[in-house]
Amino acid sequence: MTHVARIDEGARTGARRRVDALAKPLGALGRLEDLAVWLAGVQGTSAPVPPREVSVVVFAGDHGVTGDGAVSAYPRAVTAAMVREFLRGGAAVNVLAGAHGARVRVVDLGVDDDLTDTPPEVRRHKVRRGSGAIQREDALTVDQALAGLAAGRAIADEEVDAGADLLVPGDMGIGNTTVAATLVGTVLGLDADQVVGWGTGVDDETWRHKRDVVAAALERARPYADDPVALLRSVGSADLAAGTGFLLRSAERGVPVLLDGVVSGACALLAERSAPGAVAWWCAGHRSTEPAHRAALASLGLAPLLDLELRLGEASGALTALPLLRTAALLLAGMTTLDSVAPPVPEQV
């Protein structure tokens, strides 16, 4: 049973009063004001501080949808190659995390490679190699879906216990936008044409194949639309199960999350269906080019901070948006109030 922590409404109210009293026209800082109030609620103080200990977790896994014709512009082997690159520090997520003072952790949940040349910590939560081809078979067994969820929850605990005050989920896995589109389409009752995008930059022929794969997977998944665990078993994957567990545990622990692209959006949709109210702990870093991401954010009621036509994953969009959170907190703390600088209003005679 998931018990979502409560947002501190008193802190939100205090922060809103402070925002409205700052030396500026009412509402002049736009969404930065709302961000400051959100931070106040999730930090439990009317004087929120910029997130200092930001933990990025990249959930990696391969997907059986890549086996029957291409759904991606890149082969499955790229997943394992990128896991190794994250460890070397040369990927986009590493560059952005370094610039913004975040730490990066990569976790293999279902990469189709033993990755024996990587540290044991990377492989400690591995559920299986790859996943089933969701257009014709289950992605996971029930036990594997539950193991993925449990792994995500454990990883969130590990990061929070290590001092994280903001969590950022990332993803790596060739074929993962196909899985995410299927999950979003199933939960929201959408068809394949409404959720399938161009992922890694596929051509029209590959997009049509991807759409057909998602359409077949949607047919298989419809009976499980109201059961997140059954959905993850049927058309999910170990890495998306872990991402979902990660978000659920963040809401239980009362630690805010800056969401990334369509994969974390699909996980957020499942997590919110599992634990209504969990969405209050999450902020949408950006909106990717994937139609399924737009649909997921709209359903969750989350307005993205950025819309830069990003489609990389890895937590790259979320980290690009991170300075906005810090800016909002700094403005609230550092600006003077209007009554301290404005001349007194003369009394009416």
How many angstroms separate the CA atoms of 227 and 299, rounded? 17
Q: Are 213 and 149 in contact (CB under 8 A)?
A: no
Beta strands 257-259 and 282-284: pairing type? parallel
- In the set 137, 219, 314, 347, the catalytic residue is 314
How many angstroms separate the CA atoms of 251 and 182, rounded? 24
Beta strands 102-110 and 54-61: pairing type? parallel
**DSSP output for 45-65:** SSS-----SEEEEEEEE--GG
3-class secondary-structure state, position 203? coil
Beta-bridge mates of residue 54: 102, 166
- Tell me whether residue 158 is one of the annotated catalytic residues: no
Phi, psi of 309, deg, nearest 5? 60, 35
Residue 347: how many other CB atoms lie within 10 Å: 5
Residue with token string 């199960």: 241
Tally the residues of the chain: 349
Cα distance between the two ends of the chain: 64
Nearest CA-CA partner of 289 in 231, 202, 225: 202
Which residues are identified as catalytic? Answer: 314
